[in-house]
């Protein structure tokens, strides 16, 4: 089991309930894939460093989790097919 962190940015036009539902969806993917969610940190609405698809701001969320090496691939796939996710990154934490 390895420690990972993921940060994803949701589209600003989504309401609070849609953002919360997306976070729960991603937590479910981690937990159903045999991982454990260590921490969820909602950073809220922030301005993007540069414009992405004509959008200047988004809702940021950080999730720290522990999982096997195959789970980040599946989580990446889910991020790519989920409507409303502007950007995402999954990083393995160093010791």
Q: Taking the domains of the chain in order of start, what are their residue ranges? A: 9-37+66-83
What pTM, to 2 d.p., does this model score?
A: 0.90
Q: Identify the pLDDT of residue 53.
A: 86
Q: Identify the pLDDT of residue 56.
A: 94
Q: Identify the pLDDT of residue 94.
A: 85
Q: Which two tokens stand for residue 70?
A: 């195959």
Q: How confident is the model at residue 60 (pLDDT cuts 50, 70, 90)?
A: very high
Does the pLDDT of residue 25 top 90, yes or no?
yes
Judge contact between 45 and 9, C-beta under 8 A: no
Strand partners, 32: none
Judge contact between 67 and 34, C-beta under 8 A: yes
């Amino acid at each position: 089991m390895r420690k990972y962190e993921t940060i994803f940015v949701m589209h600003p036009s989504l309401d609070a309930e849609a953002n919360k539902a997306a976070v729960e969806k991603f937590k479910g993917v981690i937990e159903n894939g045999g991982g454990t969610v260590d921490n969820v940190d909602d950073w809220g609405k922030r301005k993007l460093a540069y414009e992405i698809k004509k959008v200047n701001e988004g809702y940021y969320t950080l999730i720290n989790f522990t999982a096997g090496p195959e789970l980040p691939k599946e989580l990446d796939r889910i991020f790519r097919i989920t409507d409303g996710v502007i950007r995402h990154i999954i990083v393995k934490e160093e010791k």
